[in-house]
Amino acid sequence: MKPYIFAGNWKMNHTLRETEEYFKVFLRKLAGRDFVDREIVIAPPYTSLALTSSLIKDTPVKLASQNAHFATNGAFTGEISPVMLKELGVEYVILGHSERRHLFKEDDELIGKRLEGVYKEGLIPILCVGETLSEREAGHTLSVVERQVKRGLERLTEISSEKVVIAYEPVWAIGTGVNATPEQAEEVHSFIRKTLSTLYGKDGEAIRILYGGSVTPDNVASLMSKPNVEGVLVGGASLDPEKFFKIVEVKIEKETLTECALPDYSNLDPSILEIPKNYKRLLIVGASPKPNRPSNIVMDYLLKAGYEVIPINPAYEEILGVKTLPNLESVPLEFKPEVVIIFRRSSEVLPVVEKALKLKPKVIWMQEGIVNNDAKTLAEAYGVKVVMNLCFKKVHQLTKWK
C-alpha cells in the first residue's frame, strides 16, 4: 500500500526567519518518530524553498512547491520551472489550487499544461479539484470535479499511480472553518476513484486522493477513517508546527465499507411499502428490469396497485409498455412526484437525491447497498420525509423482511 500523504500548504506565509523557527519546533517533535505508513510534505512559499530544502535534509519531510510553470525556461516573468524546482529538492507540486483557479483565473487548460510539464520532469503533481458552494447547491459537484480531473490529466497518455496525486478541496471548505463531512468527502473521493479507473484502469484506481478544506487536529481522524481518503492537504492548520504535527501523528483507523446484508428479494412483500393511499404519483430512479431485484418487485406491485409510476429506465418501455424517462433531468418539473423511490448504492445516491429534490417530492424512499446517512440528512434538510432505507437495522425490522 502506498503511504498516506500529510501535506501542508503554507500559501503566502512565513518569512525565512519564521521558516527556521517552524522547523526547529516541527523537527524536534518529529525526532524519533517513525511514520512508515505516511509521507509528510510541506509547501512553503518560493522564497523559503531553498532554506526548507536544507533544513529538512536527512529528515522524513518532503518538499513541495505551490505551483510551477510548464516550460523549462523562457520569457515567463514571475514563473518558476519544474527543472528549477527539482534543483532545489522539490518532489511534489500543488497545481490547480482553488486560489490559483479563482483569484488568479487559472483555467483547466493552463492547469493541464502545468501538470504535463511537472509530470514529465518527474515531479509529482498534486492536482486540486473541487466545487464552489453554488455549484454544490445546484447539484453540480460531481460534474465539476469530473471535468477538473479529466482536463487536468488530459495531456498524460499513460500514468504511473505513484507519480500523480489528486486533492479534493471543496472551495466552500477552504479557509472557512467548515470542513466537508467525512461522508461528503468519501462520496466525492469514491467518485474520483471511479473516474480515474475509467480513464487509466488499475493505475488510475491506485492514485492517492487527499482531502483538503479546514482540516484540523480535531477532524482529521474522522476524515482519515474513510476508505477513499488517503491523506490531507492542510492550509491554515499547517502554519503552526504544533498543530500540523498533531494532524500528522493522527491514529488512522480505517472504516470498512459495510455492505448491509440484504435479504432474499424473492420474499419481499411490497405491500410493506405502506405508501399513503392518497399519494399516487411516483417516480422510480434506478429501476431494474431484472427479476427478483427489489426495484423490479416494487415496480410490479405499484403498477398493479394502480399508481402512476414513471420508471427512470427506458428498458421498461419494451417490457411493460409504460412511459419511461432516460434520466432525472428529463422529468418535467410539473410532474411533482409525491414519492421518489431511489434504488442506488450509497456512492451514487447523494447526487441523485440532490436532483430528485428539485422535483419537490413529499417523500423520498431510498434503497441502498451500503449504509450512508448523507442522502437522508440532505433530504430531511429540504423538509422531505425519508420513508425507508433498507440498510438501517431499524428499518429492517420495520419492513417485515422474511
Active-site residue set: 97, 169
Nearer to ligand PEP, 9 or 19 (CB): 9
Alpha helix (H) ranges present in 215-364?
A: 220-224, 241-248, 294-304, 315-320, 346-357
* Distance of alpha carbon 162 from alpha carbon 206, whole angstroms: 8
Q: Which of 204, 236, 286, 311 binds ligand PEP (CB under 6 A)?
A: 236
- Supply the minimum distance, in Å, between the C-beta of residue 97 and ligand PEP: 6
Q: Is there binding between residue 214 and ligand PEP (CB under 6 A)?
A: yes
Q: Which of 82, 152, 212, 241 binds ligand PEP (CB under 6 A)?
A: 212
Nearer to ligand PEP, 9 or 195 (CB): 9
Kindly give, in sequence order, each residue whose CB lies less than 8 Å from that of residue 298, ignoring residues fewer than 6 positions away.
268, 270, 273, 284, 341
* Distance of alpha carbon 107 from alpha carbon 20, whole angstroms: 35
Nearer to ligand PEP, 7 or 299 (CB): 7
Which of 152-160, 233-241, 306-314, 331-339 is the region at the interface with ligand PEP (rule: CB under 6 A)? 233-241
* Distance of alpha carbon 395 from alpha carbon 244, whole angstroms: 42
Q: Is there binding between residue 213 and ligand PEP (CB under 6 A)?
A: yes
Q: Is there binding between residue 9 and ligand PEP (CB under 6 A)?
A: yes
User: How many C-beta atoms lie closer than 10 Å to residue 371's C-beta?
Assistant: 14
Nearest-10 crossing angle of helices 346-357, 374-381? 10
Q: Is there binding between residue 233 and ligand PEP (CB under 6 A)?
A: yes
Kindly give, in sequence order, each residue whose CB lies less than 8 Å from that of residue 321, ignoring residues fewer than 6 positions away.
none
**129 three-class SS:** strand
* Distance of alpha carbon 310 from alpha carbon 284, whole angstroms: 6
Q: Which three cell numbers stand for residue 356?
A: 430528485
Q: Is there binding between residue 174 and ligand PEP (CB under 6 A)?
A: yes
- Supply the minimum distance, in Å, between the C-beta of residue 130 and ligand PEP: 9
User: How many C-beta atoms lie closer than 10 Å to residue 235's C-beta?
Assistant: 22
Give residue number: closest CB to ligand PEP.
235
Nearer to ligand PEP, 236 or 351 (CB): 236
Strand ordering across the sheet containing 339-343: 308-312, 281-285, 339-343, 363-367, 385-389
Q: Is there binding between residue 175 and ligand PEP (CB under 6 A)?
A: yes
Which of 26-34, 208-216, 300-308, 334-342 is the region at the interface with ligand PEP (rule: CB under 6 A)? 208-216
Nearer to ligand PEP, 169 or 348 (CB): 169
Which of 100-108, 169-177, 193-201, 374-382 is the region at the interface with ligand PEP (rule: CB under 6 A)? 169-177
Q: CA 311, 314, 317: angle at the middle one, nearest 5?
A: 85
Q: Which of 130, 170, 231, 235 binds ligand PEP (CB under 6 A)?
A: 235
Q: What x/- string results for residues 126 through 165 when contact with ligand PEP is judged by CB under 6 A?
A: ----------------------------------------
- Supply the minimum distance, in Å, between the C-beta of residue 210 and ligand PEP: 9
Nearer to ligand PEP, 8 or 311 (CB): 8
- Supply the minimum distance, in Å, between the C-beta of residue 173 and ligand PEP: 6
Nearer to ligand PEP, 213 or 311 (CB): 213
- Supply the minimum distance, in Å, between the C-beta of residue 175 and ligand PEP: 4
* Distance of alpha carbon 16 from alpha carbon 45, whole angstroms: 10
Distance between start and end Cα atoms, the chain? 41
User: How many C-beta atoms lie closer than 10 Å to residue 39's C-beta?
Assistant: 20
Of residues 360, 369, 363, the one with CA closest to residue 286:
369
- Supply the minimum distance, in Å, between the C-beta of residue 234 and ligand PEP: 5
- Supply the minimum distance, in Å, between the C-beta of residue 94 and ligand PEP: 8
Q: Which three cell numbers stand for residue 362?
A: 413529499
Of residues 250, 196, 207, 246, the one with CA closest to residue 225:
250
List residues near ligand PEP by CB under 6 A.
9, 169, 174-175, 212-215, 233-237
